[in-house]
Amino acid sequence: MRIAPLYLLIFVLAFLFQGCGNNNNKKTNRDMETSQPAPEDTSGIWLGKKIGGQTSGSSAQIKPVIDLSRIKKGIASAQRGEYQEAVKEFNLAIREDSLNPHFYYYRAEAFMNLQQYDKTWADIRKIERLDPEIKGFHALKGRYHNAVKQYYDAYHEFRIALQSEPGDALLWDSKGAACMNTMRLEEAGEAFDKALELDPNLASAYYNRGLWHANSNDFEKAVADISESIRLNPGNSQAFINLGNSYFMLKQYDNAAVNYRKALELNPDTWLAYNGLGSTYKAKNENKKAIQHYTRAIDLNPEARDAVYNRGLAKYADNDLAGACSDWQKALSMGVSPAQKWLDMYCK
């Protein structure tokens, strides 16, 4: 029996600022697919907030008014991840001073973390009318455009932001992500290098540069950078998935499986980790286990078309031709065109 090769291994190009994102952007490798942004505080930069071990210098400075207590309470709530409470405080502050652009800035950040992008944009437009030159405004617009997948606009805004803040490592990292999304690959690598030059402990830049190496099929460098990002930020489940993917591409299947399982320890509902384990077992000809893990991935994400296709390959290798044909037919209906070849050969 001819054993079909694995068709896809999915890479999660989930950059810190929604870059190369989530989840389906252009790549040099059909094996890569994006994922939705990690559920972390990655879109907002708050006053005094430390991200990646560094205190951000890109947040807007509060314009003095009679009473800043509500803004301070809002920022404190945002730093704890309590964005709904933050919005309530910012709403009250805006009622007291409706012409202060900084108040809209902070509320926009909270709305962004809540993924309420229409409200984010409304506040951005308000800032544009009041004072578009406040510090951090172009970075805010860049993060918004990345979040709604308007990548060319994001790239433009991050370039503007860096003109006034060229020493901000997070902005260079953001620009690199936007470059990836707009296929400015050489410029992306330069941006990630610059971010790490400015802040050698910026976990997101190592992670993003690792994905950039993976996109260039340099999986050994991808392993090195993503491993360093995990050392600095061990709570990023997607980093473990992409480290597993990189090991898989190097045919180090045991190392790949270890990292997929670590991702599941952090997030048991990560379908990409189950998909990766399915591919690992399939590569080792453990087809029954592969089928089990692909099935779990599909249960968690019924739109996981590549898991459906790969499960068909595993079923075929396990002598379940009827099951394989069913999966290939479904995969074809979901847009996986190579499934047609297997249907033509074995499912007439």
Residue pLDDT, tens place only, 81-130:
999 999 999 999 999 899 999 999 999 999 999 999 999 999 999 999 99
Reference 336, options 312, 319, 301, 300; nearest CA is 312
How many residues are there in the chain? 348
Reference 224, options 196, 182, 188; nearest CA is 196
Cα 32 to Cα 252: distance, rounded to the nearest angstrom: 18
Q: What is the pLDDT of residue 11?
A: 52
Q: Which residue shows structure tokens 């007439």?
A: 348
Cα 121 to Cα 145: distance, rounded to the nearest angstrom: 9
Q: Which backbone phi and psi does 272 adopt, to 5 degrees?
A: -65, -30
Q: Report the predicted TM-score, pTM, of the whole model to 2 decimal places.
A: 0.79
Which residues in the chain come in under a pLDDT of 70? 1-67
Q: Where does residue 110 rank: exposed (0-12), middle (13-18), buried (19+ CB within 10 A)?
A: buried
Q: Which residues, at least 6 apart from 10, have a Cβ–Cβ distance to it below 8 Å?
A: 31, 32, 33, 245, 272, 275, 276, 306
Q: Which contacts (CB < 8 Å, 24+ apart) does range 107-111 have?
A: 107/74, 108/140, 108/144, 109/43, 109/44, 109/45, 109/46, 109/78, 109/140, 110/44, 110/74, 110/78, 110/83, 110/86, 111/83, 111/87
Distances (CA, A) of 12 to 20, 37, 58, 315, 336: 9, 10, 28, 25, 18
Do the Cβ atoms of 149 and 21 come closer than 8 Å? yes
Distances (CA, A) of 128 to 45, 100, 131, 140, 197: 19, 12, 6, 12, 33
Pseudo-torsion of CA 97, 98, 103, 105, nearest 10°? Answer: -160
Q: Which residues, at least 6 apart from 322, have a Cβ–Cβ distance to it below 8 Å?
A: none
